[in-house]
Amino acid sequence: MMNTTLVVLAAGLGSRYGGFKQVDAIGPNGYSIMDYSLFDALNVGFTSIVLVVQESMVELLTDRYITQRNWPVRFAIQEKDVTVTGKTYSREKPWGTAHALWCAKDEINTPFVLINADDFYGRESFRLAYNYLQSEAQPCAVLFPIEKTLSSNGTVNRAEATINNGWLQTTVEREKISKANDDIVYLSAEGKQKVLAKNSLVSMNMWGLTPDIYDFIDDDITDFIAQWQQNPSIEYQLPTVIDAMIQQERFKVKALVTESNWVGVTYKSDKDEVRTQLQQLHDKGIYDTI
């Protein structure tokens, strides 16, 4: 079998949540959501794990995953400063998910699956992406039905996917998504509330990729920095980068629709519901040995 890496974006500051979600005890026995993702990935065949983190988290996570569990984990540091072609740029917080992936490029030399640290994707999602990379070794997106990804405690942002003949065509960021009576709505760039189709598929930032993506990002990040200098509030987000790759016909991305239930904590008030769902999985014996 081909060596395959799990890359976890775990450097986020959790501003809406109010702390580091990456290590927050959500499940039984003090397990974090990231614990489940790493366990699921290793269970289906992944051979190594790269955690993209802040420097301050390395000691804690080293103890948690290497010392205590002996899992094949290594680290990539997402700095607030970015150095491109010898020039350093700074901002108050990390630049976004595409920048986080770029920070890990020296640690990745195999096909890999990228995820967020604070999203629970379900073991079958990892199996779906892993099996595809084993057979095809080209990019894929694991997509979820929009209704499975909402929070009852506030709005969320999601990248809506358009698919044609099984291939991802576009991803468009939709902001402030919520339920409104029987509809699912989002706020457009013009500030107007618009309806999303209930069968819409969204990316939860679970991508199967190969190291070839860095050839694209190395060029594209320079263009982003030029835009950022004009508008310092923008971020360098992976769905936007992948959409650009597709539109420029640099890569094709297979769309894989998972049957797993997504679970996530956007707000602290989401925790009770998530705890209940994770406990149910333990009760079924799925995580007896984590």
pLDDT top residue among 61 and 138:
61
Please tell me the predicted confidence (pLDDT) of residue 189: 86
Please tell me the predicted confidence (pLDDT) of residue 20: 59
Residues 158-193 pLDDT 10s? 989 999 999 999 988 899 999 988 899 999 988 899
The answer regarding whether domain 5-283 maps to CATH 3.90.550.10 reads yes
Element spanning 211, H or E: none
Asked whether residue 94 carries a pLDDT value surpassing 80, the answer given is: no
Asked whether residue 17 carries a pLDDT value surpassing 70, the answer given is: no
Q: Share the mean pLDDT of the chain.
A: 91
Asked whether residue 19 carries a pLDDT value surpassing 90, the answer given is: no
Residues 71-91 pLDDT 10s? 999 999 998 888 888 889 887
Phi/psi region, residue 19 (left: phi>0; alpha: psi -120 to 50; beta: rest), is left
Q: Would you list the domain boundaries of the chain? A: 5-283
Residues 246-279 pLDDT 10s? 999 999 999 999 989 899 888 888 889 999 999 9
Percentage, residues of the chain above pLDDT 70: 96
Asked whether residue 18 carries a pLDDT value surpassing 60, the answer given is: no
Q: CA 263, CA 82: separation in Å to the nearest integer?
A: 32
Q: CA 144, CA 43: separation in Å to the nearest integer?
A: 21
Asked whether residue 1 carries a pLDDT value surpassing 70, the answer given is: yes
Percentage, residues of the chain above pLDDT 90: 72
CA 108 distance to own-chain centroid: 16
Asked whether residue 12 carries a pLDDT value surpassing 80, the answer given is: no
Please tell me the predicted confidence (pLDDT) of residue 21: 62
Q: Residue 1 is encoded by which pair of tokens?
A: 């079998």
Mean pLDDT of 222-232: 92
Q: Which residues have CB under 8 Å from 141's CB, separation 6+?
A: 161, 168, 171, 203, 206, 207, 208, 242, 253, 254, 255, 256
- Name the nearest CA neighbour of 266 among 116, 159, 126: 116
Mean pLDDT of 202-224: 94
